[in-house]
């Protein structure tokens, strides 16, 4: 667990400009990272409207899409990331009420 | 050891692979749910590498749908306007043969409302006798060709009230996903038919008219020329139609015709007038001519119709009639004169005859009067003579004679008093006779007369009078016994009609004739006289003696004037 906690989360969120689901997804991700993985996450946000090639290269055809590259295994979550419990599970984080 | 290590490693590999698959499954499931929730913003097309924004696409789709919807509504509205506004009846029939659409023209044409007719089979609008007609049956079946139905044939539609309407139908197939529909356009041709009939009638009227009827366009060219015109003017239709009509107008009538045509061109009526036209053979014919304007739909005058009637004959007839009327008037006047003078003559004659008649009447009266006076005088002489005779038998004879003379005198009195001088009223005469006799004899008796309305000429009345005189005298002298009260004595005198005869009866209730009594053999003066007098009136006297004496003389009634 400690190892896990020390592992840096390398995340990339593909969004479509400021389309509504994309905006919500950014907000949800930001709040989860700040609350449960503060300082341990490397989050890159890619706007596929500006850089479509990036998405294609990563095999991302539908946005908004969150891809967890590290730690392995790679996981992908589609949508506005409203299901917090599922998101924590995918990211391997615990709810830390007393931060 | 290494085997265990291998196993452990293999096991780990499997476990990791399993875990990875589970993750992939969970991610895939989550992705599906996210898509279902609509949490997708963009989809990138692999080939074009262009991201498609889902919201924009949806927006465009919705806009597209709205446009399509609007277009559909507009199309429907346009269709409805065209369908309803069509000048013909429109019917849409589905593959099952039922009417699915009908416009208002159909309503008015067939008398059904749209609600009533939609859903019905097309046969509802077809008269029974046509329902088996193949043109109808196949017409509305799925026939891929659009065509007119019953071309050149009389088709009929059946109205709601059972009446029929002349129609013309053309059909267009409309292929839809639901099958082949047929759009039928129906035209009410009753009006056209009536117009055709009227047109035919007009053509027939013109064709068979004995009047010349032609039309002439405003430029003077003949447009129509009927057989009546040919027989009146000698030109055939093919010689005149398309050519100028001027050759039938004599030089001196051109001016007149121009005036008439100018009137027509101005849309004014030209009253019929009499004029002259030239025939093909150059001869002239007297005609009565009528010009009427022919107008187009915009009320502009485009031609003149000209009707000509040959009045040669009627002019001759008219002159002849005038001559005859004159002659008749002359004859009438002459006749009236003659009637007047003849009437005057006749009335003069009549007056003369009347005065002659009056003279004759007064003369006859005078004669009867004088005869009576003379007879009375004779009667008085006989009476005077009788008084001087002592022999009772001789005196009785004189008195009897006096009675005879007196009864004749009375007859003449009755004659000159009667209206009809030739005949005597028997009632009146018998009354006089009875009164005189009663005065003459002492012996009283009740004399009853029952006399029908009889008027006899003098030659019959005299013998009758003498018979009555004789019988009553006889009765008063002999019938009644002296001891009897005179009040019981009764004599009846009757004259009555029996068939074509007259019957004179004198009867009393006295002692009757002495029996045995045979009047035929009795040669007394009185009875002889009665038989002789009866013979004079061509009658027979019969005597009876029951309840007193009774004498009946039956003789033929005079033929004429007995009733008047």
A55 touches chain B (CB under 8 A): yes
How far is it, in rounded angstroms, from Cα A33 to Cα A40? 8
Homologous superfamily of A2-91 in CATH? Glutaredoxin (3.40.30.10)
Query: Does the pLDDT of residue B300 top 90, yes or no?
Result: no
Is B374 among the domain residues?
A: yes
Chain B contact set for A64 (CB, 8 A): 39-41
Cβ neighbour number for residue B269 with a 10 Å cutoff: 10
Residues of B in contact with A60 (CB under 8 A): 44
Work out the minimum CA distance from B6 to partner chain A, whole angstroms: 23
> B100 near B92, Cβ under 8 Å?
yes
A·B CB contacts under 8 A: 88
Interface test with A, best of B23, B39, B43, B48 (most A CBs within 10 A): B39
B381 domain residue, yes or no: yes
Here the tokens at position B230 are 């040919």
Mean pLDDT, chain B, integer = 84
Q: What's the pLDDT band for B554 if we cut at 50, 70, 90? A: very high
| Domain locations in chain A as residue ranges | 2-91
> Scanning every residue of chain A, which has its alpha carbon at the shortest distance from the alpha carbon of B18?
A73
Print the domain residue range for B335: 324-417
Considering chain B, what percentage of its residues have pLDDT values greater than 70?
91
Q: Which of residues 427 through 456 in chain B touch A, CB cutoff 8 A?
A: none
* pLDDT reading at B525 higher than 70: no
CA distances from B189 to A89, B140, B332, B529 (A): 85, 20, 64, 114
Q: Which residue has the higher pLDDT, B191 or B554?
A: B554
User: CA B435, CA B472: separation in Å to the nearest integer?
Assistant: 11
Q: Kindly indicate the confidence band of residue B477, based on its pLDDT and cuts at 50, 70 and 90.
A: confident
Cβ–Cβ contact A15 with B under 8 A: yes
State residue B152's pLDDT score: 47
Unique residue bearing structure tokens 């209206």: B419
Judged by CB atoms closer than 8 Å, whether chains meet at B51 and A53 is answered as no
How far apart CA B432 and CA B409 sit, in angstroms, is: 11
Specify whether the CB–CB gap between B368 and B415 falls below 8 A: yes
Maximum average pLDDT range among A2-11, B167-176, B410-419, B448-457: B448-457
Indicate if the alpha-carbon torsion angle B318, B324, B327, B331 is positive or negative: negative
Where would I find the H helices in B266-311?
Answer: none
- Residue B109 domain-assigned? yes
Interface residue B25 vs chain A (CB under 8 A): no
Residues 27-46, chain A: which have Cβ within 8 Å of B?
A: none
Chain A hits for B46, Cβ within 8 Å? 56, 61
- Note whether B412 and B427 are same-domain residues: no
Q: What is the pLDDT of residue B142?
A: 46
Give contacts of B40 with chain A, Cβ < 8 Å.
Answer: 21, 62-64, 78-79
CA distance linking residue B541 with residue B553, whole number of Å: 4
- The confidence score (pLDDT) of residue B562 equals 43
Question: B439 with B489, same domain?
Answer: yes
Quote the tokens at residue B495: 């004259």
**Total domains, chain B:** 5
- Tell me, yes or no, whether B473 and B532 share the same domain: yes
Measured at the CA of B228, the angle between CA B226 and CA B233, to 5 degrees, comes to: 100
Query: pLDDT digits over B487-518, tens only?
Result: 778 888 999 998 889 999 998 887 776 655 55
Flag whether pLDDT at B47 surpasses 90.
no
CATH number of domain containing B184: 3.30.450.20
- A63/B40 Cβ within 8 A: yes
Q: Does the structure show a pLDDT above 90 at B446?
A: no
Regarding whether B405 and B281 lie in a shared domain, the answer is no
Rg of the Cα atoms in chain B: 67
| 3-state SS class at B360 | helix
The residue to which tokens 């009476």 are assigned: B383
Same domain, B463 and B507: yes
Amino acid B138: pLDDT:
58
Largest CA distance in chain B: 234
Quick check: B541 and B468 in contact, CB under 8 A? Answer: no
Inter-chain CB proximity B44 and A56 less than 8 Å: yes
Give the dihedral of Cα atoms B295, B300, B303, B308; nearest 10 deg.
60
B448, B536: one domain = yes
Domain boundary among B148, B166, B193: B193
Question: Is the per-residue pLDDT at B4 higher than 60?
Answer: yes
- Are residue B134 and residue B238 in the same domain, yes or no? no
Helix (H) or strand (E) holding B308: strand B301-310
ipTM: 0.83
Interface test with A, best of B20, B39, B41 (most A CBs within 10 A): B41
pLDDT at B44: 83
Handedness of CA B433, B434, B439, B440 (dihedral sign): positive
How much is the average pLDDT of B106-130? 87
- Residue B491 CA to residue B446 CA, distance in Å, equals 6
Using a CB–CB cutoff of 8 Å, tell me whether A90 touches chain B: yes
List Cβ neighbours of B193 (8 Å cut-off, separation of 6 or more).
B166
Strands A9-15 vs A65-70: parallel, antiparallel or unpaired: antiparallel
- Confirm whether B452 is domain-assigned: yes
Residue B199 falls inside a structural domain = no
Residue B139 within any structural domain of the chain: yes
| Tally of CB atoms within 10 A around B421 | 18
**Same domain membership, residue B215 and residue B297:** yes
**Domain annotation covers residue B74:** no
Q: How far is CA B268 from CA B44, B261, B273, B291, B308, in A?
A: 87, 9, 15, 10, 19
Best to test chain A binding among B17, B42, B46 (most A CBs inside 10 Å): B42
What's the confidence (pLDDT) of residue B167? Answer: 87
Distance CA A81, CA B520 (A): 180
Residues of B in contact with A92 (CB under 8 A): none
Comparing CB atoms, the residue among B35, B41, B49 nearest residue A52 is B49
Residues B286 and B305 reside in one and the same domain: yes
Of B35, B41, B51, the CB nearest to A52: B51
Average pLDDT for residues B407-433, to the nearest whole number? 83
Q: How many CB atoms lie within 10 A of CB B288?
A: 16
Strands (DSSP E) contained in B206-343 are: 212-217, 222-225, 270-278, 284-295, 301-310
Where does a domain end: B396, B417, B438?
Answer: B417
Best residue of A53, A73, A84, A85 to probe chain B, by most B CBs closer than 10 Å: A73
- CATH classification of the domain holding B519: 3.30.565.10
Dump pLDDT digits (tens) for A12-71. Answer: 999 888 888 888 888 888 888 888 877 788 888 888 888 878 888 888 888 889 888 888
**Co-location of B25 and B92 in the same domain:** no
- Say yes or no for a CB contact (<8 Å) between B31 and A80: no
**Cis (ω within 30 of 0) for the bond into B305?**
no
B196-255 tens-digit pLDDT: 888 888 888 888 888 899 999 888 899 999 999 999 999 999 999 999 888 899 999 988
pLDDT at B516: 53
CB contact under 8 A, B42 and A75: no
Q: Which residues of A touch B42 (CB under 8 A)?
A: 16, 19, 48-49, 62-63
Residue of chain B minimizing CA distance to A54: B49
- Are residues B413 and B427 located together in one domain of the fold? no
The residue out of B385, B417, B449 marking a domain boundary is B417
For residue B412, pLDDT beyond 90:
no
Helix axes A20-36, A84-91, angle to 10 degrees: 60
Residues in B touching A83 (Cβ below 8 Å):
30
CB contact under 8 A, A63 and B51: yes
Q: In angstroms, what separates the C-alpha of A96 from chain B's closest C-alpha?
A: 23
CB within 8 Å of chain A, chain B residues 57-76: none
- The answer on B442 and B549 residing in a single domain is yes
CB contact under 8 A, A76 and B31: yes
- Which residues in A lie closer than 8 A to residue B53 (C-beta atoms)? 16-17, 19, 49
**Closest residue of chain A to B16, computed from CA coordinates:** A73
The predicted-structure confidence for B151-202, as pLDDT tens digits, reads as follows 545 688 889 998 888 888 888 888 888 888 888 888 888 888 888 888 888 8
CB-CB contact of B226 with B210 (8 Å): no
Distance linking the first and last C-alpha atoms of chain B: 189
Please classify residue B224 by burial: count the beta carbons closer than 10 Å to its beta carbon, then call 0-12 exposed, 13-18 middle and 19+ buried. Answer: middle
Minimum distance, in Å, between the CA of residue B19 and any CA atom of chain A: 9
Any residues with CB less than 8 A from the CB of B137 and at least 6 apart, and which? Answer: B131
- The answer to whether residue B375 sits within a structural domain is yes
Mean pLDDT for B382-406 is 84
- For B48-62, letters b (16+ CB in 10 Å) and e give eeebebbeeeeeeee
Please report residues of B whose CB lies closer than 8 A to that of A76: 27, 31
């Amino acid at each position: 667990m400690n190892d896990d906690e020390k592992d840096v989360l390398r995340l990339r969120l593909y969004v479509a400009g400021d389309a509504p689901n994309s905006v919500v997804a950014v907000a949800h991700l930001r709040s989860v990272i700040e609350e449960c993985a503060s300082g341990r996450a490397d989050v890159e946000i890619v706007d596929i409207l500006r850089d479509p090639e990036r998405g294609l290269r990563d095999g991302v055809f539908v946005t908004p899409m969150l891809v967890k590259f590290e730690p392995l295994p790679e996981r992908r979550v589609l949508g506005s990331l409203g299901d917090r419990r599922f998101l924590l599970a995918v990211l391997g984080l615990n709810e830390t009420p007393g931060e | 050891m290494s085997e265990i290590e291998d196993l452990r490693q293999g096991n780990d590999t499997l476990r990791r692979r399993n875990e990875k698959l589970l993750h992939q499954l969970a991610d895939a499931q989550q992705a599906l749910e996210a898509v279902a929730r609509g949490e997708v913003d963009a989809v990138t097309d692999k080939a074009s590498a262009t991201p498609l924004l889902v919201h924009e696409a949806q927006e465009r789709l919705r806009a597209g749908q709205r446009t399509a919807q609007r277009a559909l509504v507009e199309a429907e509205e346009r269709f409805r306007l065209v369908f309803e506004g069509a000048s013909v009846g429109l019917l849409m029939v589905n593959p099952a043969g039922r009417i699915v659409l009908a416009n208002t023209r159909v309503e008015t044409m067939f008398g059904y409302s749209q609600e009533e007719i939609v859903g019905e089979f097309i046969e509802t609008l077809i008269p029974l006798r046509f329902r088996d007609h193949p043109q109808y049956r196949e017409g509305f079946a799925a026939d891929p060709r659009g065509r007119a139905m019953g071309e050149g044939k009389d088709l009929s539609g059946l109205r709601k009230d059972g009446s029929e309407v002349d129609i013309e139908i053309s059909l267009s197939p409309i292929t839809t996903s639901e099958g082949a529909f047929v759009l039928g356009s129906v035209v009410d041709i009753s009006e056209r038919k009536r117009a055709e009939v009227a047109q035919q009638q007009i053509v027939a009227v013109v064709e068979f008219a004995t009047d010349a009827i032609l039309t002439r366009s405003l430029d003077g060219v003949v447009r129509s020329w009927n057989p009546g015109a040919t027989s009146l003017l000698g030109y055939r239709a093919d010689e005149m139609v398309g050519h100028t009509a001027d050759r039938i107008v004599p030089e001196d009538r051109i001016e007149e015709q121009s005036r008439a045509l100018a009137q027509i061109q101005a849309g004014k009526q030209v009253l019929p007038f009499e004029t002259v036209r030239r025939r093909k053979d150059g001869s002239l014919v007297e005609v009565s001519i009528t010009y009427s304007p022919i107008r187009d739909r915009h009320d502009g005058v485009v031609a003149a119709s000209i009707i000509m009637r040959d009045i040669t004959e009627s002019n001759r007839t008219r002159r002849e009639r005038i001559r005859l009327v004159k002659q008749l008037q002359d004859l009438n006047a002459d006749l009236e004169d003659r009637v007047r003078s003849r009437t005057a003559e006749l009335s003069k004659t009549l007056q003369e005859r009347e005065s002659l008649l009056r003279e004759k009447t007064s003369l006859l009266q005078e004669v009867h009067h004088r005869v009576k006076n003379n007879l009375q005088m004779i009667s008085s002489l006989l009476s005077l003579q009788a008084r001087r005779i002592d022999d009772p038998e001789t005196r009785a004879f004189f008195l009897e004679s006096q009675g005879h003379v007196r009864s004749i005198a009375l007859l003449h009195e009755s004659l000159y008093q009667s209206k009809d001088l030739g005949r005597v009223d028997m009632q009146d005469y018998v009354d006089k006779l009875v009164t005189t006799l009663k005065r003459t004899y002492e012996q009283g008796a009740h004399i009853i007369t029952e006399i029908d309305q009889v008027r006899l000429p003098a030659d019959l009345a005299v013998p009758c009078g003498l018979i009555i005189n004789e019988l009553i005298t006889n009765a008063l002298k002999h019938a009644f016994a002296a001891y009897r009260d005179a009040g019981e004595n009764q004599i009846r005198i009757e004259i009555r009609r029996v068939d074509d005869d007259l019957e004179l009866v004198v009867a009393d209730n006295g002692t009757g004739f002495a029996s045995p009594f045979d009047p035929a053999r009795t040669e007394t003066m009185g009875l002889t006289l009665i038989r002789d007098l009866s013979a004079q009136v061509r009658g027979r006297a019969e005597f009876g003696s029951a309840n007193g004496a009774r004498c009946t003389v039956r003789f033929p009634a005079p033929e004429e004037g007995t009733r008047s």
